[in-house]
Amino acid sequence: MRIRDLLALLVGLAVIGGVGYGAWLWLTDTVEAEEPAAEPGRDPDATAAAYLDAWEQGDHLAMSRFVREPPDDFISRHVQMREALQPQRLTLTAGDDVSDVDGRAIFPVEVALAVDYAAEPLTWEVELELIRDRGQWNVIWALTTIHPELREQWEFGRESEAVGRQEIVAADGTVLSGRRQLVTFGFEPTGIADPDEVVAAFAAAIPGSERRAERELNRGDLVDGWFYPIVTVPEQRASQVRSQLLGLPGVLQRTEQGRGLYDEGFAQHVVGIVAEATAEQLEQLDLPPDTRIDIGQYGLERRFEDELLGSDIVRVGLRERNGVTDGPLRVVLAETQANPSRTITTTLDIQVQQAIENALLGVGGSVGIVAVAVEDGAVLGAASRPLTGYNRALEGRYPPGSTFKIVTAEAVLADGVTIDDPAECPAETTVGGLAVRNAGNVGHGDVDLREAFARSCNTTFARYGADLGADELTRAAERFGFNADWELPLTSFGGSFPAPSDIAEVGAAAFGQARVEASVAHMASVAGAASSGRWHAPYLLVEDAPSLSRDLSPDVTDDLTALMRAVVTDGTGTEADVPDREVIGKTGTAQAQGGVEHAWFVGVYDGVAFAILVEDGGAGGQVAAPIGARFVRELAALRGRADGTDAGTDAPTDTEEGTREDTGSEDDAPAVEDLDDDADGG
C-alpha cells in the first residue's frame, strides 16, 4: 500500500471514530435526560413531598401509607387539629434534608395555617424524620410531627375573649369616654313628698336633668317600689351633688360600672354616647330583633365603632384531653386579634372644653361653640345645645353675617387701605341697585376703617366690596379657607363663598350675607387666621395632624388684630371685654330665611380662636359676646389654677348662670332688601 493511501485510511478511521464518540455522548445524554423521576418510597425527598402534599390536602389516609407503623389515633389526631383550629388553608414548606447518617433523613418543615380569626397565619416548625428499611423510605411519626409541644394527654384548642370597648381620650390622654363608676340618681314613687321640690333639686344639682325629672314624676303609670332613673353621672360628679339630692325623701341612687363621659354632657356631641341598639339599628346590623347590644349612637363612638371594639382576642393552644372541649388552654401557642381595637385620641383640650361647658351653664336656646388652636387648627373644644339636638357646632350651615367683615377687611388692607384711612358710614346706601342699611338705620358719618369695623358699618363694607369686585373678594374668602375641601371624621361643614353674580351680590357678600355660608367651626378658624396670618383647616384627631393651610396677604395681621381689638374695647363687642385679658373679636347678626337672625361672636384669646353662634338669638353683641366673655374668664381661671398663677377675680363660679337675652338687633344687625326670592338680607 502506498503511503498516500495509508494516510487516507487513517484519516477516515479517525472521522468515523469521532462520529461514533459523538453519537455515544448524545445517546448517553438522552438516557440521562429520560431517567424516570424519583418515586415516593424509593427516594426520601419524594417521600417527604408526597406526605406533606397529602397533609395539605387533608388526605390523612394517604398520609398514613407513608408512615412506618402508624398508631391507631394517627388520623384522628390530624382531624382534631383541623376541627379545633379551622384553617382556611394549610401550607407546609420543607427545608433541605439535614440527615446525619446514611439511611436517615430529617426535613425541617414550617406549618402555616391561614385562619379567619387572625390577620397573619399561625405558624410553627416541626421535624419530619424518615428512615430507609430494605430499600423503602418511610416517615417515623410521633405527636411532635404535628406540633413540637403536643403530648399524649393534650389536644389542640381555641378560646375567645371579648375585648372591652377602648377609650376615647383628649390630647393629653385624659379619658373622655371609657369604663368608669357611674351613679344614677332617681326616685321611688311612694317616698316622694313634694314633686316640685325634687324637680328644683335636680335643676340646681345637675342643670338639664330637671326636664326628665318632671316628665317621670308626672307619669300616670308609676309603680310603687320601682326605681325610676333620672340622670347618670360619673362618680366624681355624683360626689359633688349627692348631698343636694339624697337628702330629699324618695330620691335614691344606684351605682354600677359602665361606659361614661368625663362628665355629664362633656363634649357629648363630639365624643358621642353608647346605648342599647334600637330595633332599627339591629336591623341595620343584621342582628335578631331580640338582641341586646350596646353600640355608639353618634359622634366618635358611632364613627369608630369597629375600631373601638375590634374583634375578639383568639388564643390557640393545647388543652388536656379530658372530653371537655371548652377547658382552659394549658399551653398558648398564639394570641391573635383579626381586627385590633384601638384608643381614639382627639385633639380636645380638657381645660378649653371645660371652659366651654362652664360658659354654657344656664344658657338656653340652640347654641354652637367651637374653639381651635391658632397655631395649627386643632379642635380644642366644641359643644352644641341642646344636648338632645344635632351637632350644630360642626354640621350647621349659617350666613356668617358681619363676622365675615374680617375677610373683607383683609382684602381692603391688602389693597393698600390703612386702618386710619377715612371712610364713610352713612345710615343707608345703594350698591348695584341693592339698598343697604345699618342696624337701626343709624349712620356714623365720616369715620376711618378702624371705627367702621368696630361699629360694624354695613354700608361702609358693602361699598368696600363693590370697589374690590367679585374676583378679589372671592380670592380673599378662599385665603380664609372658604371653598376649601376639608372635613372632620364627623359630619361637618366648612365655608362656602359662591362667586357673586353682580355688584349687588358682591356688596351683600362683603358683610356675610347673600349666599355666603359657614359653620361655627369654620368661623373659629377664620378668627384664628386673622391673628396669625395663616388659615388652618380644623382637625379633630391627633393622627390627622394639620394638613391644609393657606397664607393671608402679607403684612395685614397686625392691622387685623388692631381692628378686632377695637371691636371689643370700643365697638359692638364690648360685652366680650374681660379686664386684664387681651381679647379680640368680631360680632355678627346674620339674617337667615324667614326673618330669623342668628347671633355671632368670633374671637381669639391666649392662642385659642373660638366662634359662638346662638340660633335665632338676635344681636350678636348682646347675646353671643357675653358668652364669649364668660368663656375667656373660665379658661383664664382654669389655666391659672393649673399653673399656680393668679387667674384674676373675675372668673365666675360653676354655679353662676349665664343668660340669653332676646333683645333685638345690635348695631351691626344688617337690614337690606332681598336680591331675589332666595337671597338673604344683609
Per-residue pLDDT reduced to its tens digit, 638-672: 998 766 665 543 433 333 333 323 323 333 333 33
| Average pLDDT estimate for 520-525 | 98
Any idea what the CATH number is for the domain that residue 70 is in? 3.10.450.100
The confidence score (pLDDT) of residue 620 equals 92
**Using CA atoms, how far apart are residues 547 and 536, in angstroms rounded to an integer?**
8
The pLDDT-based confidence of 35 (bands split at 50, 70, 90) is low
C-alpha cell at 114: 391561614
pLDDT at 37 over 70: no
Q: Which domain holds residue 538?
A: 350-672
pLDDT in tens, 208-232: 789 899 999 988 889 999 999 999 8
Query: Would residue 184 count as lying in a domain?
Result: no
Q: Give 292 or 12, the one with higher predicted confidence.
A: 292
Q: Give 494 or 25, the one with higher predicted confidence.
A: 494
The confidence score (pLDDT) of residue 38 equals 81
Question: Percentage of residues in the chain with pLDDT exceeding 90?
Answer: 67
| Average pLDDT estimate for 259-283 | 89
**Using CA atoms, how far apart are residues 232 and 641, in angstroms rounded to an integer?**
28
Among the listed ranges 30-39, 192-201, 292-301, 604-613, which one has the minimum average pLDDT value?
30-39
C-alpha cell at 564: 378686632
Q: The whole model's pTM is what?
A: 0.76
**Using CA atoms, how far apart are residues 514 and 384, in angstroms rounded to an integer?**
26
Query: Would residue 206 count as lying in a domain?
Result: no
Any idea what the CATH number is for the domain that residue 355 is in? 3.40.710.10
The pLDDT-based confidence of 280 (bands split at 50, 70, 90) is confident
Query: Would residue 259 count as lying in a domain?
Result: no
Domain boundary among 130, 150, 170: 150
Helices 625-643 and 350-359: crossing angle in degrees, nearest 10, is 140
pLDDT at 484 over 90: yes
Query: Would residue 426 count as lying in a domain?
Result: yes
The pLDDT-based confidence of 21 (bands split at 50, 70, 90) is very low
Among the listed ranges 11-15, 89-93, 152-156, 473-477, which one has the minimum average pLDDT value?
11-15
The confidence score (pLDDT) of residue 642 equals 66
| Single-letter amino acid, residue 673 | E
| Total number of domains in the chain | 2
Query: Would residue 481 count as lying in a domain?
Result: yes
Domain boundary among 99, 132, 150: 150
The confidence score (pLDDT) of residue 459 equals 94
The confidence score (pLDDT) of residue 324 equals 60
User: Are 292 and 276 within 8 A, CB to CB?
Assistant: yes
Q: 72-79 long-range CB contacts below 8 Å, 24 or more apart? A: 74/141, 77/143, 77/146, 78/146
Omega into 386 within 30° of 0, i.e. cis? yes
Which residues partner with 518 through β-bridges?
A: 398, 495
Query: Would residue 381 count as lying in a domain?
Result: yes
| Residue among 490, 517, 480, 269 nearest 377 (CA) | 480
Domain boundary among 132, 150, 168: 150
User: Are 198 and 217 within 8 A, CB to CB?
Assistant: yes
Highest mean pLDDT, choosing among 19-23, 221-225, 599-603: 599-603
Query: Would residue 23 count as lying in a domain?
Result: no
**Using CA atoms, how far apart are residues 60 and 56, in angstroms rounded to an integer?**
9
Query: Would residue 175 count as lying in a domain?
Result: no
The confidence score (pLDDT) of residue 28 equals 45
The confidence score (pLDDT) of residue 36 equals 58
Sign, Cα dihedral of 496, 501, 507, 508? negative
User: Are 318 and 327 within 8 A, CB to CB?
Assistant: no
